[in-house]
Structure 1
Amino acid sequence: MSATMSGETDVTDPGAMGEAEFTALVERHRRELHVHCYRMLGSFDDAEDAAQETFLRAWRRRETFEGRSTFRAWLYRIATNACLDMLARRRPEPATGGEVLWLQPYPDRLLDELTADDVDEPETAALARETIELAYVVAVQHLAPRPRAALILRDVVGWPAKDVADLLGDSVNSVNSALQRARAGMREHLPAERQDWTGGDDDADNRELVRRFTEASVATDIDAIASMLRDDVRFAMPPSHGLTVGRDAVIADWVGDGYTQMTGLRPVPTSANRQPAVAYYLWRDDSDAYLPLTLDVLRISGGQVTEVTIFDSDRFPSLGLPGRLEADGPEAGR
């Protein structure tokens, strides 16, 4: 989604604005900037911090806006620098081995806040969807911070190389070279069948597969589950260490953890990162209710589950999921 595309309001002198007026102006771009920070950082919570830092810096430096770029592009510059500063403080090294321990899901209900101006062309909307899926976000985290910024600003936000070079303090040749290396790194970590991704749950066959997979999961029917996993399925559970690859290895992992003895599950369908997801609740006698357990985000390709990423229940509030389900109450989200 280009930071210089339509939908930009002419801004002549933000330095003369009062706080309320300036805040209202910045708020128009809040969600897209938050999503930008999320792509950079891979963590929803870190993106929250970076977005807040962006707005604080923008207010403090509002008099530095000279109108040589759009106001939106000016905010993107500030947001990118805020993310680079955060990466320098918190994670000087990129992810390794396919793991991203700090990975968190991005709720679709918040992605729905992106306006038509943010994704105003069919190609742009497809790109925005493709580059928010977990596999893309994970692959990005394997890049060093500055090549990561170059890749996102060039390939997602749509900036010219000259503008990226100006932000990073490099030459255009350096940016183009970094971009080539970043794209090569992405190809190394992205799924081979990326062009065939189905991602969301808007396809009838996908919805049916998710329904059957959910039913088998509640019944802990390991054979039925295995029949829906592709042979090279990937499984991760951030922030726990370990990436498991292959149907047999994944099934052995789940059986070894005692999954087949689990009873009292109740599922609530949802979505995250434009992918189908299922929130699971577990019956607790001491609470006389079903309480949050895990959030499973699925990637589907070619009619099979190709990736399962399981997140802790602390992600439920950001997805707008209830804190408990009553024994005789309807399942939320149906």
Structure 2
Amino acid sequence: MTSVALGPTDQLDPRLLEHRRELTGYCYRMLGSAFDADDAVQETLVRAWRGLADFEGRSALRSWLYRIATNVCLDQLSGRQRRALPMDLSGSPWQPVEASLAARRPGTAWVEPVLDRQVLPEDADPAERAVIRESIRLAFIAALQHLPPRQRAVLILREVLRWKADEVAQLLDSTVASVNSALQRARATLAAAGGVLDPRPLDPDDQDLLDRYVEAFERYDIDAFVRLLHEDATQHMPPFEMWLRGASDIGAWMVGPGSACRDSVLIRVDANGSPAFAQYKPSQDGGRLPWALHELEVSGGRIAHITSFLDLDNGLFRQLGLPARVD
């Protein structure tokens, strides 16, 4: 047998490590959390290292790693409630007032963000990259959480990663008929939850919109900011349950309870296949500290939705590898 490890577990062969990014993307779709995905991939690589004697090259290394990763994710999901986004929990928008912040849930309740660079392959062709980018959008990830874990695995492997039915059946120790049946049920559930894959490249004209978004936010010109939004634009701010609908209510929030964001700076990143900005809010010592990761949905030349992941415990930016401070 040809070994794929180099002694200690912290010296894994590059042939194992070269699959880390795509495994992270797979585990993220399964678990809805970049942090849980990182843990799952670490566990996958450890199990792979420990199981080398049983591997013996009987299957492709990549397929074997996906089998391990699937089992790790299924173990993590056992008995766990699905992650969600605030708009999934309440059919009615909240009022843009301070009292709306009273309802808050722990981070484990929410779908969490991921940076594109953590999961998107560098060598994919443009068409494949567009599908993969769409498959990490927040709406799709939230819809995936409605599926039972094994159906989730089947759909991701078949629809996103383009595995053949017999390959998925072998990975899950199942049959082709069972895989096809699970895929059919998963597609129906996903469509009802709004999780249809529809690759949408960012229009070149949208870059001007994003530039104006940054300019309006950093100047805290709320009138200009509101003009960039659709009339029925929405916003939510995990870990709070509240969500807002309507450009006027979003503007009212920003000049009211959210006014402490004045004098912030935004740094462009790409997250969940969407344009995003890391917001740094002024601190008492004159610098700026992490506050929120804003992910935008653009439609028809305006902002349709804003997801603001608040970094209330100073852990989100650190775990995403974003700067801890802007001076």
Change in 2 beyond 3 A, CA 1:14/1:87: same
Q: Does 1:321 align with 2:313?
A: no
CA-to-aligned-CA distance 1:46-95 (integer Å, 9 cap, x gap): 00110011011111111222544311011011101101110115x24464
Letter in 2 for 1:185: T
Please, what TM-score do these two structures have when normalized by structure 1? 0.80
Identity in percent: 41
Aligned match of 2:126? 122
SS at match of 1:268: strand
Q: Can you give the 5+ residue segments of structure 2 that lack an aligned partner in the other structure?
A: 90-107
- The separation in 2 between residues aligned to 1:83 and 1:144, in whole angstroms, is 12
Equivalent residues of 1:198, 1:300 under 8 A apart: no
CA-to-aligned-CA distance 1:102-156 (integer Å, 9 cap, x gap): 32221233346x342xx2x433222112112222212212222111111001111
Aligned match of 1:240? 240
Aligned match of 2:279? 280
Aligned match of 1:86? 76
- The separation in 2 between residues aligned to 1:168 and 1:58, in whole angstroms, is 17
Change in 2 beyond 3 A, CA 1:318/1:204: farther
CA-to-aligned-CA distance 1:207-227 (integer Å, 9 cap, x gap): 111111222223333333332
Equivalent residues of 2:5, 2:13 under 8 A apart: no
SS at match of 1:325: coil
The count of residues paired between Structure 1 and Structure 2 equals 304
Aligned match of 1:53? 43
Letter in 2 for 1:52: Q
- The separation in 1 between residues aligned to 2:279 and 2:76, in whole angstroms, is 33
SS at match of 1:323: coil
SS at match of 2:323: coil
Q: What is the RMSD of the two structures over their aligned residues, measured on CA atoms?
A: 2.8
SS at match of 2:13: helix
Q: Can you give the 5+ residue segments of structure 1 that lack an aligned partner in the other structure?
A: 1-11, 327-334
- The separation in 2 between residues aligned to 1:136 and 1:297, in whole angstroms, is 14
Change in 2 beyond 3 A, CA 1:214/1:55: same
Change in 2 beyond 3 A, CA 1:145/1:47: same
Equivalent residues of 1:101, 1:240 under 8 A apart: no
Please, what TM-score do these two structures have when normalized by structure 2? 0.81
Equivalent residues of 1:101, 1:238 under 8 A apart: no
SS at match of 1:279: strand
- The separation in 1 between residues aligned to 2:256 and 2:109, in whole angstroms, is 20
Q: Please, which of 175, 179, 196 is the counterpart of residue 175 of structure 1?
A: 179
